[in-house]
Amino acid sequence: MSVTFVAAPKRLLTMTVDGQTIKVPEGTTLLQACQQRGIDTPTLCYLENLTPVNVCRVCVVEVEGSRTLVPACSRKAEDGMVVKSDSDRVRASRKGVLELLASSVDLSLASPEVHQWMERYGAEPDRFGPSSAPPPGNPRDRARPGEHVPADGLAAATVSQPAKLDNDTYIRDYSRCILCYKCVEACGVDAQNTFAIAVAGRGFEARISTEFDVPLPDSACVYCGNCIGVCPTGALMFKSEFDMRNAGTWDESKQTITTTICPYCGVGCNLELHVQDNSIVKVTSPLDHDITRGHLCVKGRFGYQFVQHRSDGSEAQQ
């Protein structure tokens, strides 16, 4: 005899979003409630395949009766809740978050949505002055709590530092890092359970680091690349993409994406092969895949070179 389990229907809650009354199932977040109403809410540290960590605060909304603004990505809807997603307070807060991030971090490779949000909220990162030059010797990676040198008020402090090139698979360019924690979550309990990277330092000197800042090959990293898959700013990037960008040959308008199945084992992960000029230039995985939810292992993510062996013995360009 087979037994079929059917999930109990969820209680419907009645709430108001921007003056309109809606019904949502219990457990819905305010972000999902806003999406149900067709409201575009900015997010930076949120991703549907990760546990919300509430660190960027760009998604905040106003909830009637709440002293502080609340993060929409993690706060659950409650019966009778009254939410304002576009009040002056919300707009000012989102503007401030985007301004401070853009004044200190290189966001040039962040998604087009990030740039649209900056425009929508009138973010003016330039009002903090020109970017200050990175200090020689990159002391940022070794900074201890309390070592921060206050800015001189003439230039904006930045997290600028040279990209870390210490292996053949991917690079870490922390001058683009907004400290969203997504890579830490993907390397940790949300996917890989390897814990090769974490946040070191405090305050402005907080940064993503391997244990004792050792190079990646000496760390616990297993090169699954799940951190690259979730990074929203290009701080973590395939070495192939990095090299092509430096050579001026990276061109997404010439790339196609083909979804296929990983050939290495029976799990059946979906792969998205990004192909330019008849060569695979990087591999991603769809976030909505039931099994892998966007995550892969080293073989699926980086083991594609064999495809590019040509019959004449040459290799396709990486």
Contact positions vs ligand SF4 (CB under 6 A)? 177-183, 186-187, 192, 194, 196-197, 208, 221-227, 230-233, 235-236
Task: Determine if 294 is a binding residue for ligand FES (CB under 6 A).
Answer: no
Q: How far apart are the first and last CA of the chain?
A: 55
Q: Which does 57 bind (CB under 5 to 8 A by kind): ligand SF4, ligand FES, none?
A: ligand FES
The Cα–Cα gap between 285 and 272 comes to 5
Name residue, tokens 């290495």: 264
The Cα–Cα gap between 129 and 110 comes to 21
8 Å CB contact between 18 and 39 = yes
- Closest CB to ligand FES among residues 55, 82: 55
Choose one: 6-14, 22-30, 54-62, 146-154; the region binding ligand FES (CB under 6 A): 54-62
- Taking the complex as a whole, the smallest distance from the CB of residue 191 to ligand SF4 amounts, in Å, to 7
| 3-class SS shares of the chain: helix, strand, coil, % to 5 | 25, 20, 55
Binding letters toward ligand FES, positions 186-215, x by CB under 6 A: ------------------------------
Task: Determine if 101 is a binding residue for ligand FES (CB under 6 A).
Answer: no
The Cα–Cα gap between 115 and 159 comes to 19
Amino acid in the structure at residue 240: S
- Taking the complex as a whole, the smallest distance from the CB of residue 47 to ligand FES amounts, in Å, to 9
Q: Calculate Rg over the CA atoms of the chain.
A: 22
- Taking the complex as a whole, the smallest distance from the CB of residue 297 to ligand FES amounts, in Å, to 27
Beta bridge partners of 15: 22
Q: With b meaning 16 or more CB within 10 Å and e meaning fewer, what string describes 68-83?
A: ebbbbbbbebeeebeb
Q: Which of 17, 22, 30, 71 binds ligand FES (CB under 6 A)?
A: 71
Site size for ligand FES (CB under 6 A): 12
- Closest CB to ligand SF4 among residues 81, 179: 179
- Closest CB to ligand FES among residues 46, 304: 46
- Taking the complex as a whole, the smallest distance from the CB of residue 258 to ligand SF4 amounts, in Å, to 23
> Could you tell me where the DSSP H helices lie in 27-111?
30-36, 88-104
**Helices 112-120/88-104 angle, 10° precision:** 130
- Closest CB to ligand FES among residues 37, 57: 57
In the range 11-50, which residues lie near ligand FES by CB under 6 A? 43-46
Q: Which does 73 bind (CB under 5 to 8 A by kind): ligand SF4, ligand FES, none?
A: ligand FES
Biggest CA-to-CA distance, the chain: 76
- Taking the complex as a whole, the smallest distance from the CB of residue 292 to ligand SF4 amounts, in Å, to 14
8 Å CB contact between 292 and 303 = no
- Closest CB to ligand FES among residues 57, 245: 57
What H or E segment, with its residue span, contains residue 102?
Answer: helix 88-104
- Taking the complex as a whole, the smallest distance from the CB of residue 115 to ligand FES amounts, in Å, to 17
Tokens of 37: 């109403």
Residue numbers of the site for ligand FES (CB under 6 A)? 43-46, 54-59, 71, 73
